[in-house]
Structure 1
Amino acid sequence: IMVEYSLRGYGKFLVETEDWRQAYSYLKKAEKMASANKDSISMAFNWFHLSSYFWKAQQVDSCFYFGKMAEKLWEARVEKIDLSHVCHHLGKCYLQLDKIKEASRYLHKAEGLLLNDPYFNEALFSTLAELYIKNGNTAKAYEYMTKAKKLSQLIREKESSAKLAGLQIRYQTAQKEALLEKQRQETDQAKNETIKSNYQRNTILIITIGLLLVATVAIFMNRKINIKNHQLTVTNTALLRTTEQKQTLLKEVHHRVKNNLTTLKSLFYLQAKSSPDQNVKEALIECQQQIHSMALIHQNMYEATENERLDFFHFLQQLITELEITKRTTGFPVKITYQGQSIDMDVSTALFLGLMVNELATNSFKHAFVGRAQGAIHVAIEKANHSFILTFMDDGVGLTRAFDALQGNFGFKLLHIMADQVQGNIRYHREENHSVFTIEVPNEARA
């Protein structure tokens, strides 16, 4: 049924667009389907549209044939609406053919079936007015034309009212939509403000909690740090006190050792003075000088700010100056020069280097300047990459034999022993009428 209805509707559309071939094809298909379905109403509609098709296609006989078949069927079924439409259609067709009698019969038949449809009635009255104009009855023509005009005005008024009502509905709808949109925007804005407010509140809450946690951790850590600092302060104070006690004790040890060595030096001096043997006296004096060298070391350590290292260059000047003063009283004026700078040295290395310098200086004062009115000694100390280099030089007569050949001599044997004690070495050479002794020891040497 739906397919037949679609075919009929499309065929009617093609009739209105004057596509005759396609229109006839679709209408005939719809008629066959209605006939096969034994649907009399659909068949009547198809005949009515075929009648319209044949009229526009200027096939008058076929037009009236299908129109009258539709008339009979609708008349039999008492379908007033459809019957009035087909009668109006046939009346218009006869009127255009100037068949006044047939046109009058069908038009008045349609008038007898007058509907409550102002559009149909207006068209019917206009056709009746045209009929009476052709019939020469101007009074009737005027009457029907007046009715048609009133219906036309009524239709326009209704259409205007309908348009106005439609516009009013559209206006009211637009107002309601605008109001709804405004309410929606206000709702969205309120919702967004609520979300924003909640976000800000939650953010502030999270930040506050975070700050409280940080503050708690900071307080806890600060307390731990304060406890640790207090413990460190107590420990440092104890260590400082212990260090001060150790330094004081070490100074006291150096002081007592120096005093003991001074006492020992005095004993050697008294023994040398009372000895009738000149060789014994000289040996005791040399021992006295060596003891004095060691005493000077401990005196410098006692006076030093650091108890583990001393300024060896200062000690060297002090040692040789005192030896020179001692020898000057016995008639040996010697010019002494120094080269170097302040060098910190550990006690063990300084002790052995001091004894070696004492031995070299004593040997120079005793043997280098025999038969001369004066002499010269030059002492230099420098710090190389990983060692101390001490140079002792005099302008005396020099060694009577090669340095290696003197290993059996007690003094030179003592020099080698002391050099070995600090993992060092001693070398000798003659340079421009000067005897040059070079002593090199590691700057981290230990006895």
Structure 2
Amino acid sequence: MDHGRSDGQTTDSMSRCWSAGVAADQASVRRSNLALVLRHVSTYGPCSRSAVAVATGLNKTTVTSLVSELQARGLVKETGPQHAGSVGRPSVALVLDGSGVGALGMEVNVDYIAAIATDLAGRVLIDRRIGFDAMGSGPDRSLDEMARMVEKTVADLDRLGVTPAGITVAVPGLIDAGTGTVVVAPNLGWRGVAVAERLSRADIAGHIPITVDNDANLAALAEYTSGTAAGTPDLIYLTGEVGVGGGIISGGRLLGGADGFAGEVGHVMVDPSGEPCRCGRVGCWETKVGLAALVRMATPDHAYGMGPQVVRDPEERLAEIEQRQAEGDPRVDAAVTEVGRWLGFGAATLINLFNPRVIVLGGYFAKLADRLIPAAQEEMARLDMTGAGDRFRFAASDLGFGAASRGAAGVVVERALSDPTAIAIRDPK
């Protein structure tokens, strides 16, 4: 046996592994430093290279190299000299660019499909929503329709000179985010639907990553970063759709739970002798406060599931309810008061469990907030056990029915800021 030859092979193999490990470590360090510089410019720009070096602790040569790469990826640009009142030559200011990098947020809900596309700075480039009976159409037809909207939106971005960095899809249900699969979405009637895999077959560039998450969680993130209660470290967002979901921000972080299923507040039982819920149980909170409950009480002739169904956007249903109220229909005021009372009933439980400073009302709750909140506040105060209600408030979302898709786009932006190397270096022309 030639031991010398064997030892040589082992040494060569170890050398290759060591070299690969060093290269991987260097790549990881550079990726981390790119993200560090990009976040600083995003948060504090316009700022000079020298200011970035001081703030990040990186040396100026390293910062210059990192900025050059971020420029090549279309993420940072120069805006001209920065005059800070100091003597000498002014420094060149850097700002977040990202005008050529897009983020696409999609949402499928009971009666609509929506898309919001932004650039990396969060500027909305495309905002569209179509009425669609996802509840009655089943997952295949619904995903076909969503794929068409994805294709159209990506094509529109391409005409604007914007390349999507990713797509995130919001779905009202329990999501296996690791595989992009809807475990169960009761109000859609979906179980085990591989949304990400299905949309990956759409006619778009194959390298665009597709992820899936819960609609309320994504909406809560949008509210926390840019909504009416932005920056509040302890808040709860309620979707205010046919189904009612909750996104919980606790200590400035999204509360996901062991499996990412936290926040399914709509399926907390509040009335054991109440209406059947689409989840298979009885008396869930959403049967009392969901849009379907309001429609059933205020406009029973147009209730969900009654007679031939015409696809109607939630805004259209609300417009009809408001029209009937203007005409003096007493059922509308009674329905809104009843929903408000049950909203406060459930809110009291959430306050006792999570001690938020704000519950942000989204969807149709926001549209009717001036009438819902007084009734909810009264009921909540009656049931508050901790006294925390005195330091709590309801707030109406100003993001409308687009909160979830906006939050979905925000997830893509966050991913790009965390790993700038995911954005391809542009071909110099």
TM superposition score normalised by structure 2 = 0.19
Larger Rg: 1
Tell me which protein shows more helix as a share of its residues. Answer: 1
Query: Structure with the greater relative contact order (CA < 8 A, sep ≥ 6): 1 or 2?
Result: 2
Tell me which protein shows more strand as a share of its residues. Answer: 2
